[in-house]
């Protein structure tokens, strides 16, 4: 009868080992050897940003803030900006000025501590103030296109005041007199008596 007791002790020992050892990596051959299983895969970061303002007149200064970007299993370590006008920047918060009218696609690329990336985009709309003619057609520069006087000299080449827009007193008539309804600058409205 001693034998059945030994089998009972072995069975009890086996049952205890089977219950406590699977947590130690000894039961079932998981292949990891350490009992923790395979390392979890890196989760990519999530890029997000705000732009203030999103539209306006040129030159338009816009503040960008990517502090809303996150990484579920680590941290964001790099922020790269492309502003759509050949400008770029780095950092969680940047400012950029758009000098000309147009619609610009701004791209933010964030990188996490394991090298994974994510991208977010937004459009910035820049207009010009058409009430200011210099914004549409800038004035002539003296050294670039010649002087304004040279560019408009053709207006003053004729003797006809309608053609030139400039009235000059004909040399053949006497100077106007105030008593005849004229002044020294304007012709008389009626001929002066001789």
- In angstroms, the Cα distances linking 36 to 28, 48, 73, 139 are 13, 34, 18, 74
Give 78's strand partners: 111
Averaged over 165-193, what is the pLDDT? 54
**pTM of structure:** 0.52
Q: Report the pLDDT value the prediction gives residue 63, as an integer from 0 to 100.
A: 98
Quick: pLDDT tens for 143-159.
555 666 666 666 656 65
Q: 54 phi and psi, to 5 degrees?
A: -95, -10
Cβ neighbours of residue 73 closer than 8 Å, sequence gap 6 or more: 40, 42, 43, 114
CATH number for the region 50-127 comes to 2.60.40.10
Residue for token pair 């970007």: 69
72/45 Cα distance (integer angstroms): 7
Whether 107 has a pLDDT exceeding 70, the answer reads yes
Give 95's strand partners: 63
Helices (H) and strands (E) in the chain, counts: 5, 8
Q: Report the pLDDT value the prediction gives residue 30, as an integer from 0 to 100.
A: 46
Q: Report the pLDDT value the prediction gives residue 54, as an integer from 0 to 100.
A: 97
Residue extents of the structural domains in the chain:
50-127, 133-166
Which has the minimum average pLDDT: 30-44, 155-169, 170-184?
170-184
When pLDDT is cut at 50, 70 and 90, the band that residue 141 belongs to is low
Q: Report the pLDDT value the prediction gives residue 31, as an integer from 0 to 100.
A: 47
When pLDDT is cut at 50, 70 and 90, the band that residue 37 belongs to is confident
């Amino acid at each position: 009868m001693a034998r059945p007791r030994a089998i009972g002790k072995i069975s009890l020992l086996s049952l205890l080992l089977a219950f406590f050892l699977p947590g130690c990596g000894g039961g079932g051959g998981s292949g990891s050897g350490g009992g923790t299983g395979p390392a979890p895969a890196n989760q990519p970061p999530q890029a997000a940003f705000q732009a203030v303002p999103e539209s306006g007149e040129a030159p338009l200064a816009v503040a960008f803030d990517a502090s809303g970007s996150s990484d579920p299993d680590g941290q964001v370590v790099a922020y790269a900006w492309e502003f759509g006008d050949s400008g770029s920047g780095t950092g969680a918060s940047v400012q950029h000025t758009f000098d000309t009218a147009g619609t610009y696609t701004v791209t933010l690329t964030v990188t996490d501590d394991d090298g994974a990336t994510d991208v977010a985009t937004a459009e910035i709309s820049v207009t010009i103030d058409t009430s200011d003619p210099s914004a549409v057609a800038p004035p002539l520069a003296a050294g670039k296109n010649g002087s304004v006087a040279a560019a408009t000299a053709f207006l003053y080449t004729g003797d006809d005041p309608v053609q030139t827009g400039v009235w000059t007193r004909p040399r053949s008539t006497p100077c106007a007199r105030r008593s005849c309804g004229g002044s020294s600058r304007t012709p008389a409205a009626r001929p002066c008596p001789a």
